[in-house]
Amino acid sequence: MTNPFARFAPFPEPPALIAEYIAERSAEESVVDGPAPWDIGALTSELLAPLPEWLDSVCRWLNQTYAWQPQYAIPPCWIEHQHLPYEIAAFAFARLDAYDDAGSVIVWHEQYDRFVTRMNNALGKAGDDCRVGKHDARPARFQLDAWPSRPPATADEPLMSDAVEEMAG
C-alpha cells in the first residue's frame, strides 16, 4: 500500500548562507550583530542574493499547498509588489520555527489567513490580473513619485513634533 502522505512536498529549505546566518545569530555567544534575516531592507547584498529564488519557491509551495481558491494564490509577480517580499520573507522565516511545537503551527496557519487578507487588500482588483500573468505597475492614480518633497527644516523652524505638541495643548 502506498503512503498517502508521500505526495506532500516539504517546505523549501532556506539557502545555506541564510541558514548559517540564522545559526550564527542565534548562537549563545554570537558575534553576529546583523539584522534579522526577514528584514530584507536591512540585509547586505550578499545575504539578499539567494533570497529571491528561495522566496519564489516558498510562494510556489504556499500556492500548491494552500491556494485552493484563486484569492489565496500569491501572484507570480509577487516580487514586483513592494509590500509582498517583506511579508513573504517574514512569513517564510516564521514557518521555519513554527513546527517546533503544535501550538505554533496553529498560530502560523492563523497568520497565513491574515497574510492572505492583507495581500488581497493591498493588491485589490489588480490581484486578479496579476494572478493570470497580466502584471501592471502601480495604478496611475497612485503615483507616489508625485508626492511633494519637504524642504529640510531650518534651525529657526519648529519641528513637526513641536507643532503637534503645541496643538495638543
Using one digit for the tens of pLDDT, what is the confidence trace for 77-90? 999 998 899 999 99
What's the one-letter identity of residue 38? W
Average pLDDT, the chain: 87
Q: What is the pLDDT of residue 144?
A: 62
Instruction: Tell me how far the alpha carbon of residue 85 is from its chain's centroid.
Output: 4
pTM of the model: 0.79
Using alpha carbons only, give the angle 136, 141, 142 rounded to the nearest 5 degrees.
75
User: Out of 26-30, 110-114, 156-160, which region has the weakest mean confidence (pLDDT)?
Assistant: 156-160
What does the pLDDT read at residue 48?
96
The pLDDT assigned to 34 comes to: 86
Contacts of 68 (CB under 8 A, 6+ apart): none
Q: How far apart are CA 18 and CA 27, in angstroms?
A: 14
Are 122 and 81 in contact by the 8 Å Cβ rule? The answer is: yes
DSSP assignment, residue 76? T
Cα distances from 145 to residues 131, 141, 142, in angstroms, run 26, 11, 9
Q: If pLDDT is split at 50, 70 and 90, which confidence band does 157 have?
A: low
Give pLDDT tens digits for 10-47: 999 999 999 999 998 888 776 767 899 999 999 999 99
Where helices occur in the chain by DSSP H, the ranges are: 16-26, 45-48, 51-66, 83-98, 102-123, 126-131, 160-168
Report CA torsion sign: 63, 64, 65, 67: positive
**Short-list 71, 57, 75, 90, CA closest to 136:** 75
pLDDT band at 117 (very low <50, low <70, confident <90, very high): very high
Which pLDDT belongs to residue 110?
Answer: 96
CA–CA distance, 83 with 121 (Å, rounded to integer): 11
